[in-house]
Structure 1
Amino acid sequence: MNALFCILPVILIRYYKKNTKAVFYFMVTFFIVLAGFRDPESQYNDSHNYLTLFNYGGTYLLKHVEIGYALINLLVMKMNLGFQWVILITSSISMITIAWAARRSEKNEAAVLILFYILIYFFYNFNAMRQMTGVSILVLGYTFLKEERIRVFLLCLLIASLFHKSCLIAIVCLLFYKKETVFQPIMVFICIIGSLVIGFLNITPTILSGMADLFPRYLNSDMDKNIAEDSFSLSKIMLSVFFLYMYSFLDKKDLYLKIVFIGIVLFNLMSYSSGAMRIAYAFTPAQALLFAAYKNNDDSTWAANYERYEYLIYGYALFVYYYMLLNSVGLQDYQFCDGRFF
Structure 2
Amino acid sequence: MRALVYDRYGTPDELRVEDVEQPGVGPGEVRVRVVASSINDWDRDLLRGEPLNRAIAPFRPRHRVLGSDVAGVVDAVAPDVVGIDPGDEVMADLSPHGFGAFAEYAVAPASAWSAVPAGLSLEQAAAVPQAAGLAVTGLRAAQPLAPGQRIAVNGAGGGVGTFAVQIAVAAGAHVSAVDAAWKLDALRALGAHRVVDYATEDFTSTPGAYDAIVEISAHRRARDYHRALAGGGVCSVLGGQKRPMLSAVTTGSVLSALGDRRVHMPMWRANDRRDLAYLRPLLESGAVAPVIDSVVDLDDVPDAFRRLVAQQHVGKIVVRL
Give the TM-score taking structure 1 as reference length.
0.29
Higher share of residues assigned helix: 1
TM-score normalised to structure 2 length: 0.30
Between 1 and 2, higher relative CO (CA 8 Å, sep ≥ 6) is seen in 1
